[in-house]
Each structure stands twice: as structure tokens, then as C-alpha cells.
Amino acid sequence: MIFRDARFLWLLAAAPLALLFLVARERLRARLARRFVSERLRGVTNAVRSMRPWLAAIAIVFAIVALAGPSMGFVTLPFTDREANRVIAIDVSNSMLAEDAGTSRLAAAKAIAKRMIDAWDGRVALVIFESRAEIVAPLTSDTEAVSALLESVTAGEVGDPGSDLGSALTVSMKLVEADPGSKADVVLISDGEDQGANLQETIRRARSRNVTVSTIMIGSRQGSTIKTDDGRELRNESGDVITTYAKSETLESIASATGGIFLDNPFAERALNPLLAARTFGAAKQKTVRIPVDRYQWPLAAAFALFFLGSIMNRGAE
């Protein structure tokens, strides 16, 4: 027999104290009854009444054992495990604040990423990047936790202004290489602006490891200004209004070089289907898991039965 939380068994040390208290209370009741009530009215003939404290103490012991969550035996359940990892990297540079995607580019990117996370069968990781990349969530099967972390992502969160696609891909590859036994792909979501210098080297690294990198462009090629928190347009050091343009060339080249998919503002209902359909590329494996069978019902039922029996023994006037 094993217990879900054996720490509760320490409470068994209190059982002898409970027994002493109940026995002392029963004796006190008997003394007071003899002083004020005749033996015929007190029900002295109920000989088993003196067993009530012992039954209550044993019931407490069973209740504590039930609280510890005992289990005995195992049940074997089959499940399908798909060995596939996906790393989603999202651009959080200031240019992603431009509102030329019906909303801000970042809000659109987060909505697309959430759809992919919810549809993914395997493990998923989340990376954000500006001129430097950071891991928000490592590879995990807990997609709800990743979605929650995604909601908290904000523009400029990394703290290094700029946009380096190579840095994003480098950090993503580190996550992929941490689990070399599983198939994996990377999805980069950005407006395509890139000020990095190591992109080609990282592309060769992904290609050598057969990791496909799909890219999603968010934003308009006609360009848009960037609104600050106070609603004003962002300006450069010279005071000129900054206009940011979505650029597809670099994103297309990344996808083409690694055998990935390039999507241009996939906001339509089925526009994201090529990447959603790719969720099944991992090899499915049938596995079994042994789950312990809870047996807390047994000691809990015994505790109730003893308490009930004690209440029956309580018949007779006090």
C-alpha cells in the first residue's frame, strides 16, 4: 500500500491523546450521572457503552489513514504520445506596436501563436526576441501554462531594442537540440525587420539538423507609424516620425532554406491551416501508464461505521 501524501500519517501520533481524552470524558460523565440520576434512569445495563471512547479513537485513526490517500494495486491505461516539439518565437520589438493588422502586430501575433499552441499535440516552447532572445517557456506538454505566459508578453519586454531573427533562431535551436530524439520545428512570427548579422549561419545549423523553420509575417508592406503609450507617434532622435514596414524577403528565405512554410498575415479562418495541419508530423507511439487505484474509501467507510456504532451505543439517559 502506498499513500498520496504520507505526511498526514504523522497525525496518528495524536490518536492516543484523543483516546485518553475520550476515556476521561466518559468517566467524568459516569461520575456526574451517579451523583444526580438513579442507575435505572442512567441505563447502567448498557454494558457496551464503555466501548464508545475506543470506537471513536479507532474511527479517528481510520479517518487519518483515509486523509493520507492510500492506494493499492494499479490500473494500466493506454495513451498515444506524439514525439513532436514546436518552438514558437515571437518578435516583441517596438515595431510590433504598429497597428496595421487590424490591431497591433503583436496582438495579432499572439492570437496566431495561441491558435497554434492550442492545436499542438506534442510539446511546445515559447521564445520572445528583440535584438536578443529570451525563453519564456521551455518545451512542455502543459499548453495551458504556455498560453497563460503568452498573454503576459508585451512589446519591449526583452529590453534590447532592435530585431534579430538570427538570435531568435539560435535560442530556438538550443531548445530543439535539448531533445534530439524527437522531431521538431520552429515557427518565427515577425514583421520581417532584421538588424542581426548571424542569420545565415543559424539557418545552416537548422538545415544540418533537419529542423524546418516556418515563418509568419505580420504587418503591411505599405508601412505604419508606431503609437506610444500616450497615443503619440514614435519619433527618432531627429524628431521625425518613424514608419515601420513589414518585409517578407528575409522571412521567405528562412522558410525556403529550411523546408518550412511562409505565411503572409494569415488572419483568414483557414489561412493558418498549413501550420495547424503540420501538428501531426511527429511519430505517434502507443504507450501505457500505470495509475495507482485509490483505496481511501475503505478506511473512510470504516470510520463512518465506527462513529455510527458509537452513536448507537450512546442510547440511554444521561
Nearest in space to 185 (alpha carbons), one of 197, 162, 169, 198: 169
Cβ-Cβ contacts under 8 Å for 190 (sequence gap 6 or more): 90, 91, 96, 109, 163, 165, 168, 215, 216, 217, 218, 251
Q: Cell 514558437 belongs to which residue? A: 88
- pLDDT for position 317: 43
Contact 101, 218 (CB under 8 A): yes
* pLDDT recorded at residue 17: 92
From the list 244, 260, 201, the residue with the least C-alpha distance to 91 is 244
CA angle 267, 272, 274 (to 5 degrees): 155
Judge contact between 193 and 199, C-beta under 8 A: no
Mean pLDDT by 10 residues, the chain (318 residues): 87 90 83 67 60 88 91 78 82 91 92 91 91 93 92 90 92 90 89 87 91 94 83 79 90 94 90 74 63 88 88 61
> From CA 80, how far away is CA 95, in angstroms rounded?
41
Has this prediction a pTM greater than 0.75?
Answer: no
CATH of domain 79-286: 3.40.50.410
Would you give the end-to-end CA distance of the chain in angstroms?
43
Do 143 and 117 meet the contact criterion of CB atoms below 8 Å apart? Answer: yes
Give the residue among 120, 3, 82 at the shortest CA–CA distance from 285.
82
